[in-house]
Structure 1
Amino acid sequence: MKKFVLIPDSFKGTMSSTEICETLESVIRKHFSDAEIVSIPVADGGEGSVDCFLTALSGEKVEMSVKGPFLDDTSAYYGLIDEGKTAVIEMAAAAGLPLVEDRKNPKKTTTYGVGELILNAANQGVEKIVVGLGGSSTNDGGCGAAAAAGVKFYNAAGESFVPAGATLKDIERISLEGLEKTIKNVKIVTMCDIDNPMYGAHGAAHVFGPQKGADSEMVLELDAGVKHLAEVIKRDLGMDLAEMPGTGAAGAMGAGMVAFFNSELQMGIETVLDTVDFENIISDADYIFTGEGKIDSQSLRGKVVIGVAKRAKKQNKPVIVIAGGADENLEEAYENGVTSIFTINRLPEPLEISRHKSKENLEATADNILRLLR
């Protein structure tokens, strides 16, 4: 009996990682009816990440009411896996762009609800919390989430308040004394796949502000607020985070996770592989299938394919990549553990046409690979 491990990223805009796993499993069953198949759909920390973990590991959904981006009540959930020892939270559940609909305004939106999710999970007695960054509507540096967890922010008048993008500039002092004890005892890992700094031309506001509704004037205002936050964090908490890669993620939520929650920022795929105990899963595997929409130079920077291949290489396991497309000069991928790369597009067609045939093309490509393996 053959064992297949399926761990693809999504094909952005065409197929989710869960759909890819289901398609591959269907094709494998045609050729190896008694195969053992382990599916680990991967998400980047944004919307759908919790469901991917629950699909891979099973577990429990915890639903609760939290404050949304404008402090209105909204329903959200997180996942409990590993027999309740680990919680998986996606910030998009409480602060995501879809929640603001046509009211985009990163000067006013808050991550407060994300902090409520984190606190609730900590109070469940978990040992570890995984927080996925991505798809946020906010630019508050994680201050809202921190406030929900007990961190205090004071203005010039000595009054405590919950900072948002427009009021980061009003922070005069930060105190961690009120941070809930249950959070202090939990290891928190933040999934973060970008390396942007907190502020500046490549920072949170300039790079991601426009997609959240910020015009050029607002971008400058938000950027100045995040810069001020960085200065207060450095003075009051002794952390110089301004240039730390990833601190600009999700409206500088990356910085907030480090400063207020003592979290480690980690590439999403590394977090997934650690959480699912990947080394153990592949120890008796015959083939590992992974892939993404396009494998290129970005893929070689620790994204899903290379993250999987590097770990598989240590056990000398074959890694088969199926992608929508592939750049030239991918020798580095092979050096890092990839065995072979197959692209699914069978005809030279524009993406606008081929994207509608993604499932059909994936099935055909997988079928050809499985015929060879059989």
Structure 2
Amino acid sequence: MKKIVIAPDKFKGSLSGIEFCNAVERGIKKQIENVTIVKLPLADGGDGTVDALKFYTGGKLIAAAVHDPLLRPIQARYLYAENEMLAFIEMAEASGVRLLKNNELNPLETSTYGTGELILDAINRGAKHILLGIGGSATNDAGMGMACALGFRFFDAENNLLEGRGKDLNRLTTIDTSMVNTELRNIKFEVACDVDNPLFGPKGAAPVYAPQKGATKRVVEELDAGLRNFNEKVETQFGKNLQNIAGAGAAGGLGAGCVLFLNAELKSGTELIKSIANFDEQVKDADWIVTGEGKFDEQTFSGKVIKGVLDSRTNQQLAVFCGLSELTAEQIAAHKIDYLAEIIQQASGVEDSIKNAGKYLEEAAAQFAANGIVSK
């Protein structure tokens, strides 16, 4: 009996990972009855991760009263699986750029305080393992705001207490840890981080990402200098040079802040989800792995779900189902893809392919089963 593992990303704006799995399963079973199908929806730590983790853990969405990037009260949600004592928090829920209007974007004024409040809520609920996704931030505070919510205190040269906004990076002189939440040391923190930017410098947090968050050239320079100052003060006080950590510059320096304040490990988001799915073990004896995403292009192979699937592949054959492929035949062959199907080929146009993706995916899977599996 053949074993097929279905392990996709979502089709953004169209299908969740599990909806993809179900459509492909229906299509295959139209052609082959005697087959073992294992569904392993994946994600990269961004959109779709909550759906994937709910599939594996049965977790529930928890609403918490926190603060947005400008410290205004909002409600934000995170996923909590009580049996596993596992929480998944997307920092963008509380500290994301999507929460602000264009005229409110200013990384000198924004803070990750709300992300810290979500972490605190999860700890108070009993979480012992926290996964933190740090994409889509509106902030450039090196995680100082988050740390404030967890009991860290930051002072300037005149011993004034700082709020932990981006503008406070240059003013920072000392960090007080005497009031830090004692539970932090009992929590395992893993951070989904798929960039390797350093904390400061030309490829650092401020020059690369702050302009997308409303920073002018002058503000970028101020923030970059602030991150340098932050690192100097941390190195003096704690003996840690955060600049040397790949991913320290993610989310306005929150990558560095997570390492310093949470003793967190920065990991590929896809690898984190694969670990929870026990992916490598599940695919060992598979004949085929079926994966996919909405748009299939060269970016796919830079930390995305399909790259994670390829990294785990041994001798299994690989089928990719996508909305649209921009790869050449040579590129497809180079990545050893055995079967490729584009939904757009069956649809009347892009809008139709998005609206009716489930139907077209099921049809494509049936063709795959007839032409790709049965014939091999």
Q: Give the TM-score of the pair, scaled to structure 1.
A: 0.87
Alignment match, 1:279: 280
User: In the TM superposition, what is the alpha-carbon distance from 1:13 to its structure 2 partner?
Assistant: 6.3
User: In the TM superposition, what is the alpha-carbon distance from 1:31 to its structure 2 partner?
Assistant: 3.3
Say whether 1:95 aligns with 2:92: no
User: In the TM superposition, what is the alpha-carbon distance from 1:294 to its structure 2 partner?
Assistant: 4.5
- What amino acid does structure 1 have at the position aligned with 2:262? F
Which whole-Å CA distance do the structure 2 matches of 1:108 and 1:37 have between them?
Answer: 50
Does structure 2 retain, via aligned residues, the 8 Å contact 1:47–1:93?
Answer: no
Alignment match, 2:207: 206
User: In the TM superposition, what is the alpha-carbon distance from 1:37 to its structure 2 partner?
Assistant: 4.6
Alignment match, 1:31: 31
After TM superposition, the structure 1 stretch with the greater mean CA deviation from structure 2, 255-264 or 274-283, is 274-283
Say whether 1:329 aligns with 2:331: yes
Say whether 1:357 aligns with 2:358: no
Say whether 1:366 aligns with 2:365: yes
Which whole-Å CA distance do the structure 2 matches of 1:78 and 1:36 have between them?
Answer: 33
- What amino acid does structure 1 have at the position aligned with 2:88? V
Does structure 2 retain, via aligned residues, the 8 Å contact 1:57–1:276?
Answer: no
Which whole-Å CA distance do the structure 2 matches of 1:52 and 1:213 have between them?
Answer: 32
3-state SS, counterpart of residue 170 of structure 1? coil
3-state SS, counterpart of residue 64 of structure 1? strand
Alpha-carbon distance change, 289 to 177 in structure 1, aligned in 2, over 3 angstroms: farther
User: In the TM superposition, what is the alpha-carbon distance from 1:330 to its structure 2 partner?
Assistant: 4.9
Does structure 2 retain, via aligned residues, the 8 Å contact 1:14–1:355?
Answer: no
> RMSD of the TM alignment (CA)?
2.8
Alpha-carbon distance change, 229 to 3 in structure 1, aligned in 2, over 3 angstroms: same
Identity of aligned residues (%): 37
Deviations, residues 334-369 of structure 1 (Å, cap 9, x unaligned): 3xxx5544444439x9xxx54652526544433321
User: In the TM superposition, what is the alpha-carbon distance from 1:104 to its structure 2 partner?
Assistant: 1.7
Which whole-Å CA distance do the structure 1 matches of 2:361 and 2:201 have between them?
Answer: 41
Which whole-Å CA distance do the structure 1 matches of 2:12 and 2:218 have between them?
Answer: 31
Does structure 2 retain, via aligned residues, the 8 Å contact 1:296–1:330?
Answer: no
After TM superposition, the structure 1 stretch with the greater mean CA deviation from structure 2, 199-208 or 120-129, is 120-129
Which whole-Å CA distance do the structure 2 matches of 1:29 and 1:14 have between them?
Answer: 22
Does structure 1 retain, via aligned residues, the 8 Å contact 2:65–2:73?
Answer: yes
Alignment match, 1:110: 111
Which whole-Å CA distance do the structure 1 matches of 2:90 and 2:250 have between them?
Answer: 13
Does structure 1 retain, via aligned residues, the 8 Å contact 2:85–2:128?
Answer: yes
Aligned positions, number = 366
- What amino acid does structure 2 have at the position aligned with 1:80? Y
Does structure 1 retain, via aligned residues, the 8 Å contact 2:192–2:268?
Answer: yes
Does structure 1 retain, via aligned residues, the 8 Å contact 2:42–2:274?
Answer: no
Deviations, residues 233-271 of structure 1 (Å, cap 9, x unaligned): 222222212142211111111111111111000011110
Which whole-Å CA distance do the structure 2 matches of 1:146 and 1:332 have between them?
Answer: 45
Q: Return the structure number with greater relative CO, CA threshold 8 A, min gap 6.
A: 2
After TM superposition, the structure 1 stretch with the greater mean CA deviation from structure 2, 247-256 or 226-235, is 226-235
1:210-225 aligned within 5 A: 210-225=211-226
Which whole-Å CA distance do the structure 2 matches of 1:101 and 1:38 have between them?
Answer: 43
Gaps of 5+ in 2: none
Does structure 2 retain, via aligned residues, the 8 Å contact 1:107–1:222?
Answer: yes
3-state SS, counterpart of residue 46 of structure 1? coil
Alpha-carbon distance change, 40 to 177 in structure 1, aligned in 2, over 3 angstroms: farther
User: In the TM superposition, what is the alpha-carbon distance from 1:281 to its structure 2 partner?
Assistant: 3.4
Does structure 2 retain, via aligned residues, the 8 Å contact 1:41–1:56?
Answer: no
Alignment match, 1:119: 120
Alignment match, 2:237: 236
Alignment match, 2:62: 62
